[in-house]
Structure 1
Amino acid sequence: MTEVRAKKALGQHFLVDLNIARKICESLSGGPVPADAATAAAASDRGAAGAAGDVLEVGCGMGVLTQFLLRREDLVTWGAEIDSESVAYLHAHYPEFTPRLIEGDFLKMDLRERFPHGLRLIGNFPYNISSQIFFKLLENRDLIPECVGMIQREVAVRIAEPPGSREYGILSVLLQAWYDIEYLFTVSETVFAPPPKVKSAVIRLRRNATRQLDCDEALFIRVVKAAFGQRRKMIRNALRAAFGDFGGAEHPFFTRRAEQLSVGDFVALTNWVAANRS
């Protein structure tokens, strides 16, 4: 097998530039995954000595990134690949990787069962599921101290943007609540086969020191989603649609819009909602 046919239904755009692949690989920290992922920012200095840590590459394709990951002695590289043609290609070209290549849908994997001691994530993420990948990361945030991913540039900007930006949204707030986010570099359309119609970007997420938010975290997520569900409306109207009229009570943030609120503001608003919803 000489190559894999890119499948539009799987959002496949294969990276062909080895320098970009090398840069992505080098952007990931190495060494053991900290027992408490919330301390990862302090514990995962690049180049730190120690036992190798597990990293899961999501969407291995033809192994352009995999080959560099496999060379790193501070990492134990695993792969998640849904495309059977890509799996066959990887078996043929990287036989040493075969025992750790998982054929299946990453979004349906039980990461707690497979990686009870934690893992890092990396990949040239398929455009059509990039947001879902980040929501899965959030669900497993106590296991995942770091993620390096190449995604559509507009999604990368949205995730990394601070409050006040038009691009700032649900994923921005939820990810920034538990991760420090760095926009690393932009990637041209020309380094893919087939080339996508948009530019890509590589971002790095590292778990911050927040173990728990100072509020009901499930309600926090509901409040953020409700606020951005009607982002052109003031917070008052967006939250009333989801939670009722709060008995006529008002909050100072009610005259703002969702993109104007920081993570801390949403925590405060969540506590107010908890105390005032009927």
Structure 2
Amino acid sequence: MYTLKKSLGQHFLKDENICRDIVGSLPVIQDQQVLEVGPGAGAITKYLLQLPGIHFKAVELDAEKVQYLEKTYPAIKGKLIHQNFLETPAPFEGQFSVIGNFPYNISSQIMFRILEWRDQVPQVVGMFQKEVAQRIAAGHGNKEYGILSVLIQAYYKVEYLFEVHENCFNPPPKVKSAVVRFTRLEQQYDIASERKFFVLVKTAFGQRRKQLRNPLKGLFDKEVLQDEIFTKRAEALTVADFAALSHKMR
């Protein structure tokens, strides 16, 4: 069979209803390109392989799981990329959707990688640690609202779909899980530049308990810092507020 590797954060789904629900959360059309991240032992892979008319690939780092998948699901041969997802170039030309039970120890890094590919990735369905899922989906004014919330919601509509009990996994993780769907925004925010926006958001939330005037004083001229918005804390600002501020940076 196969072994579970704690170093890779492996907790495999065993609840077939949840597996079907995850795959069913990804809208697919004829000839759609779909990438699965971290198929592991194939819990949702087997349902993805049954979807008619899609072009499927999966990225898996663990050589043992690659061998297991190829033996267990012959249809996956030629569709597996044996690499670290964080170092993998975009696996398709053109548009492709991403799905996966994301390894929790690198789930934030996975999201930043997908943000790099956002022009090619219209939809994502992923399972995360519940706290991470809540942060991604949180709105402004919420204590969970932070860097991930703003950076992802700047480009995607986020839907918190459903939670998954620990007993649905082998071995059961010590954390709760949740499935989230992202759909790329048709109307993008007007952002000065990705670099400025990322620096602004990360700096603002770096001292989230302080008024913005303190952490952001190095990014704006003194006159701009007199604006009332800088008396607020980072979590009070909407994504649109951050986008607007990016145009006023030095």
TM-score higher than 0.5 here? yes
Letter aligned with residue 120 of structure 1: S
Matched, 1:178 2:176: no
Partner secondary structure for residue 124 of structure 2: strand
> What is aligned with 1:60?
39
Matched, 1:246 2:244: no
TM-score, L = length of structure 2? 0.96
Runs of 4+ in 1 over 6 A off after TM superposition: none
> What is aligned with 1:47?
none
> What is aligned with 1:78?
57
Partner secondary structure for residue 215 of structure 2: helix
CA positional deviation for 1:5: 1.3
Pairwise CA RMSD: 1.3
Partner secondary structure for residue 52 of structure 2: coil
CA positional deviation for 1:213: 2.3
- Whether contact under 8 Å (1:70, 1:76) holds in the other structure is no
Q: Distance in 1 between matches of 2:178 and 2:53?
A: 25
Matched, 1:94 2:70: no
CA positional deviation for 1:134: 0.6
Q: 1:227 aligns with which of 181, 184, 204?
A: 204
Partner secondary structure for residue 242 of structure 2: helix
Letter aligned with residue 230 of structure 2: F
Matches within 5 A, 1:122-271: 122-211=99-188, 213-240=190-217, 242-243=218-219, 246-249=221-224, 250-271=226-247
TM-score, L = length of structure 1? 0.86
Q: Distance in 2 between matches of 1:116 and 1:126?
A: 25
CA positional deviation for 1:74: 3.6
Partner secondary structure for residue 247 of structure 1: coil
> What is aligned with 2:98?
121
Q: Percent identity?
A: 49
- Whether contact under 8 Å (2:133, 2:160) holds in the other structure is yes
Letter aligned with residue 8 of structure 1: K
Letter aligned with residue 230 of structure 1: Q
- Whether contact under 8 Å (2:189, 2:243) holds in the other structure is no
- Whether contact under 8 Å (1:81, 1:106) holds in the other structure is yes
Q: Distance in 1 between matches of 2:179 and 2:4?
A: 21
> What is aligned with 2:12?
14
Structure 2: 5+ residue stretches without partners: none
CA positional deviation for 1:217: 2.8
Matched, 1:109 2:85: no
- Whether contact under 8 Å (2:189, 2:240) holds in the other structure is no
Q: List per-residue Cα deviations over 1:47-106 (Å, max 9, x = no partner).
A: xxxx32111110011111000001110422211000011011001111220101000101
